[in-house]
Amino acid sequence: MTPHLRRVAVLGVVAAIAVWACTEDITAPGHCGDFCPSEKITVLDTVLDTAITRDSAYGRPVGYINPHNAPVMLVESLPGVRTSRAIFKFNPAQVLRRVIAPPDTTTGPLLQPDSVFVSLRILRHDAHATNLTVHLYRLPLTIDSTTTFTDPAVSDSFSTALLRSVNIDTLLAQPTRRDSIIALDTVHFDTITGDRLAVDSVGGQEQFVLIFKLDSLAVPFDTTDSARAAFGIRVTADSFASIAVGTSDLGQGPRLTWFNRFDSLGTIVGFRQSAQGGTAGAGAFDGFVFTPPTTALDSNLTVGGMPEARSVLRVKLPRAIVDSTQIVRATLILIPSDSVRGVPSDSFRLFAHATVLDVGAKSPTLVDPTLLPDSTVIRVGLTDTVQIDVTNILRRWQIDTLMPRTVILQQGVPIGGLAYNGASFAEGRFYSSRAALQRPRLHITYIPRITFSP
């Protein structure tokens, strides 16, 4: 080996060793006490009894969400508790007359339809309900957002104008078939009435699309009023008669489809059309009426219900905790003043939101797309203390010291995997800071600032 080659070989060996050795791995095993740095991570825990102040509930009689702008129409028949009925009015039919024989522009009126389909999406129902029956009524066109349960025109119609009753269990027992006419899906089909029921699963939640098939006797094509039509829904069951029907506010409102006929120079032809826009828009409406009216707000903190109520809480945190610690968990402790009301076996989420601006009842909630909001599940009938994690909120306050230290409690009801406000009658009532012994408390677990050992 020449001296030059020898030098190159030596350099190569050195380089190889260096490359092989350049990775660092200096993690030592954990036998602390004697062999760890003197700084220690300590966890402290405290319950702040008077941290919650200036707390109030808002949302009655006019709620954050009201029946006319709710994401669902709540339909319930709970004897002794509540009766609620859906009411909705469709937009006019798009076409009332057609050209008889083109190119002649003379038009003639559409004839009465041979069938009319009313479709509903039942977004939520109680799985324990048996003999769940949905009743469809014809209602007067006078219904709107001011209509109440005791409005004579409405209450009379629910007594006399029944169009169809469909037992969901019975319809589910029917064989399935492909419906290429109206549902465009596989449906359970009633061969006698022509009613259809499609079953979906959205976000782990079973949903129904219920389609009533009616005729022109039940739903006349009244051209004097642009073929507008209004309907009502009532529900019965052996127990737990409660459903939530999608509305136009959710983009899943009822649909009305006319299968009109038309006389084209003696030839009767079919013509299909839908109520344009369904129940959305100024001329249409969807909502629900119920009795008894929801209890008014009191000195307690109310969340949920209909009209939807929310509670606003202000938090006074010790400066030492905000400035010099790392909060690893914070829990808001609420004591119910009454058992949570609603349909048995039902539940909802209680959300705690921060706000960027505290303007009282109209404080906007802060939604951070990068963080799941702090929440906990509340079950109807609950009387135990409610604990809701507000760790994210408090940590955000530590970062942004200019944020108002205000927490907004609001309800979220899961529909198709998402949580919606104003989608349930269930409401929780919790003691406010005015109840000295049962007032809301804040449980904070934190790590004080570490002093590093030199």
Partner 1 sequence: MSRVLRYLILAAALLPGVGVRALAAQDSQFGVSGLGTPGRFESVRSRATAGAFAAFDPLSSLVDAALGWADHLTISTGSATSYRAIEFPGSRTWTRATRFPVLGLSGSIGHGITIGGGFATYLDKSYDISTRDTVDIRGVPVPVIDRYTSDGAVSDLRVAAAVRISPKLLAGAGAHLLTGSARVRAGRDFQDSSYIDTFEASELTYDGFGASASVIAVPLPSLSVSAFVRSDTRLRARENGTLLSRNDLPTTVGAALRWQPGAAATLAASVVSQSWGSAGANAYSTVNWSVGTEVGRGMPLRLGVRGGHLPFGPGGGAPSEFGIAGGTGFRFSEGRGLIDLSLEHLSRNGVGLREKVWTFLVGFTVRP
The footprint of partner 1 (CB under 8 A) covers 3, 7, 10-11, 14-15, 17-19, 21-32, 34-39, 41, 43, 45, 326-329, 389, 391, 395, 443, 445, 447, 449-452, 454
In this complex, which beta carbon is closest to partner 1, that of residue 339 or of residue 387?
Answer: 387
CB of residue 51 vs partner 1: minimum separation in angstroms?
Answer: 17
CB of residue 347 vs partner 1: minimum separation in angstroms?
Answer: 20
- Give CA–CA dist 328/45, Å, rounded: 10
Residue positions counted in the chain: 454
Residue pair 309/302 in contact by the 8 Å Cβ criterion = yes
Give yes or no for a cis peptide into 79 (omega within 30° of 0). Answer: no
266: left (phi over 0), alpha (psi -120 to 50) or beta: left
- Give CA–CA dist 231/148, Å, rounded: 15
In this complex, which beta carbon is closest to partner 1, that of residue 27 or of residue 160?
Answer: 27
Q: How is residue 19 written in tokens? A: 């490359």
CB of residue 305 vs partner 1: minimum separation in angstroms?
Answer: 29
CB of residue 399 vs partner 1: minimum separation in angstroms?
Answer: 13
Q: How is residue 261 written in tokens? A: 């006929």
Question: What is the DSSP-derived secondary structure letter of residue 430?
Answer: E
Helix (H) or strand (E) holding 201: strand 196-202
In this complex, which beta carbon is closest to partner 1, that of residue 24 or of residue 104?
Answer: 24
Strands 241-246 and 230-236: unpaired
CB of residue 400 vs partner 1: minimum separation in angstroms?
Answer: 17
In this complex, which beta carbon is closest to partner 1, that of residue 185 or of residue 389?
Answer: 389
In this complex, which beta carbon is closest to partner 1, that of residue 26 or of residue 282?
Answer: 26
Residue pair 136/229 in contact by the 8 Å Cβ criterion = no
Q: Which residue has the tokens 């127990």?
A: 239
Neighbour order of strands in the sheet with 386-389: 44-48, 441-448, 325-334, 386-389
Residue pair 412/64 in contact by the 8 Å Cβ criterion = no
What are the two backbone dihedrals, phi and then psi, of residue 389, each rounded to the nearest 5 degrees? -70, 130
CB of residue 329 vs partner 1: minimum separation in angstroms?
Answer: 5
Sequence-distant (≥ 6) Cβ neighbours of residue 76 within 8 angstroms: 82, 83, 84, 235, 241, 242, 243, 290, 343, 425
CB of residue 29 vs partner 1: minimum separation in angstroms?
Answer: 5
In this complex, which beta carbon is closest to partner 1, that of residue 338 or of residue 389?
Answer: 389
In this complex, which beta carbon is closest to partner 1, that of residue 30 or of residue 292?
Answer: 30
In this complex, which beta carbon is closest to partner 1, that of residue 261 or of residue 395?
Answer: 395
In this complex, which beta carbon is closest to partner 1, that of residue 46 or of residue 299?
Answer: 46
CB of residue 453 vs partner 1: minimum separation in angstroms?
Answer: 8
Cα-trace Rg, the chain: 31
Q: Which residue has the tokens 């790590």?
A: 447
- Give CA–CA dist 244/75, Å, rounded: 6
In this complex, which beta carbon is closest to partner 1, that of residue 10 or of residue 184?
Answer: 10
CB of residue 397 vs partner 1: minimum separation in angstroms?
Answer: 14
Give yes or no for a cis peptide into 292 (omega within 30° of 0). Answer: yes
CB of residue 404 vs partner 1: minimum separation in angstroms?
Answer: 22
